[in-house]
Each structure stands twice: as C-alpha cells, then as structure tokens.
Structure 1
Amino acid sequence: MKTEISKLFIFSFLFFCFFSFAQEKGIVKLLNNAISRDLKIEVDNNYFEDKLRVVTAYKIDNDVLSVEFEVKKSVGSYVEKREVSISDILFIGKDINVIFGTKENAVKVTRTRIEDGGYKQKEESSSDLFFTGIRNMKNNETLGESLKKVFKKAGYAVELKYWYD
C-alpha cells in the first residue's frame, strides 16, 4: 500500500514538473512573439531615441527568465542582458514599456558598452523592474492579460497592476 502511494506521489510530482515546464515554454513563446511584433512597428516619434535588436531571444533556464538586446543610440551602443527568477516576478504593468515588477533587486542587468574602436566596458546592476523591450504596441492590454494567464498556468501568481499607453 505504501509503495502504491509513493508511486502515485512520484507520478503526480513528475506530472506537475512536466506541466510547469511546458507552461514556462508558453511564457517564452508569448514574450518572443510580442517582442518580434513590437520591433517591426515603425514609430514616428521614438521616445527612447534608440533602436533595439534582439541578440538572444527570451528563454528560461533553471527558473531564470533572460533576454539580451543590442541598444543603439546616437552617442554609442551597448549590449544589455536582463535576468530574473520567474518566482521573483510580482506584477505585470505597462507605462512606456511592458515591465515585470519584482522583489527588491531581483533583476540582474549586465550592460557591455561598445565604444569607438571596439572597446568594451562591462557594468552590472540590479533593479526591481524587468523591462521587456515591448514598447511600441498600443492598446495591447490583452498582452498583459495573456501574460498573467500563462504565468498562472505555470504556477506563478502574478498580478496585472496597471496598463497605460
């Protein structure tokens, strides 16, 4: 009897782990589709005065969500990698950028500046906000709702806090 209960427990645990992993893929797929669509939008007035290019698409490894962008500005460029543990994400919001609010200093940002002559300077910082780079789409609150649902399916309680265009 104990063996059957143990087998049932192990099977349930493995099923839950597999289901959660599959749902984490849903988070990545939704983010990668959204950033891909967003970067194709031509804007008349670029508030940020920069241009983004995805270097490494969104991925989740060992509970860590990450993405890497090349950011080109008129005064130079840099590559920025953003990382956060999914379990540290508390809310989804949008002001000028779709963001994930996190626990204090949960977001690790590694920025490598590329200066004239190829000189690179690496800086690391932390933050409470994970900027997704999704910023050109308007009237897209359904994205926030979809993100909330896919996080919930993956076992993470994330609040949709505010959504301003």
Structure 2
Amino acid sequence: MINKKLFFIAFLLQWLYAPSQVQKIVKILNRELQKEVKAQQKDSSNYYGERFEVIKQYSIKDTNDQNINILALEIKKKDTYSNTHYTIQQEIDLSKIKAIVKDINIIFRTDSDASKVTEVDENGKESISTGDMYFLNLSYEKKNEKLAYELIQAFKKAGYSIKKEYWYD
C-alpha cells in the first residue's frame, strides 16, 4: 500500500514538474542561440557556419494536446547564389527526439520524418520537407560536449530519454 502511494506521489510530482523542465530545454537552446548570433557579429572572420537572423527564437508551440511539446524555431537566411532571402521554420515533437550529435553543427537525431522544415522564399513560395534531423544552428563553439550532457539532463527531467552519439568539432 505504501509503495502504491509513493509511486502515485512520484508520478504526480513528475507530472507537475515536467512542464517547467520543458521550458528549461528552451532556455538552454536560446542561450546557445544567442551566443551563436553574437559570434556571427563579433567574430565574423572566424565564423564558418551559415549565417542567419533569428525571427522567432526557440519556443514550445501551442497545441490542443498538453502531452505534445512542439519545439519551434524560425530563422532567416540568405541564398548566396540568387542573393535572395528566405525564412525557415523548424518544428519537432520533443518525444520524437532520440539523440543529440555534432558534426560541425549540433543536431537532434529524430524518428523518421519527425522533423518538419518549412521554407518560404521572398515571393511567398512555400516548401515543406520532413526528415530525421533537427538542426540547432549551433556550430561556432568548439569543445562543447558539456552542452550535450546538459540537454540530456534537461530532457530526462522533462520526461524524455535522449542519448549522445558522436560529437565531432
């Protein structure tokens, strides 16, 4: 009987605590995104990643289902070949993220077709694609494997299990 009560209390605490932990994930990602944007501006000669402008920082998109947490980011990039700009909106259900990896850019590896990317060009033409990678647009900082472990812990506290796979600068 006591075990059932303890289990119920633990479940209740997790249920109440998890939403704040989801916001912790968002906070970590936005902190790193701000560092990336500063690096583009202040260390442009050593910045080798794709340049972008943040339109809407990382956030959890409102859904009708409280059990679904959609991570969203909207950025603007320049196509250097056509000298035009386009916006990219990325979305992923946090429960579909399986791993964090780094191969120049930090990426969430996801279930097949779980990551949704919507590109809109200057003329309003929209292109939607899905895949198994959610690019975090973080490439400047090196030797930052601690970030992977910080995110893994935040995901765990929010009730999600992800792992770290390869990590190459």
Q: 2:37 is matched with which residue?
A: 39
Task: Show the counterpart of 1:142.
Answer: 146
> 5+ unaligned residues in a row in structure 2: which ranges?
62-67
Q: Number of aligned pairs?
A: 155
Query: 2:134 matched to 1:130?
Result: yes
Moved more, 82-91 or 53-62: 53-62
Q: 1:30 maps to what in 2?
A: 28
Q: Is the 8 A contact 1:39 1:136 kept in 2?
A: no
Does the Cα contact within 8 Å between 2:74 and 2:88 map onto a contact in 1? yes
Alignment identity in percent?
Answer: 34
Partners of 1:12 and 1:148 in 2: how far apart? 21
Contact 2:98 2:161 in 1 (8 A): yes
- The aligned counterpart of 1:69 is 75
RMSD of aligned alpha carbons: 2.0
Task: Tell me how far 1:45 sits from its aligned partner.
Answer: 5.2
Residues 106-136 of structure 1: CA deviation (Å, up to 9, x unaligned):
001000011xxxx221100001000011111
Find the counterpart in structure 1 of residue 64 from structure 2.
Answer: none
The answer as to 2:106 corresponding to 1:108 is no
Distance 1:139 1:13 in 2: 37
Stretches of structure 1 that go unaligned for 5 or more consecutive residues are none
How far apart, in 2, do the equivalents of 1:108 and 1:55 lie?
17
Shift of 1:46: 4.8
Residue identity matched to 2:159: G
Counterpart secondary structure, 1:105: coil
Deviation per CA, 1:29-83: give whole Å up to 9, x if none: 00000010111112425545x4211111111234111111111232321100000
Aligned mates of 2:11, 2:35 — CA distance in 1:
36
Quote the offset at 1:14 in angstroms: 4.7
Normalised by the size of structure 2, how large is the TM-score?
0.83
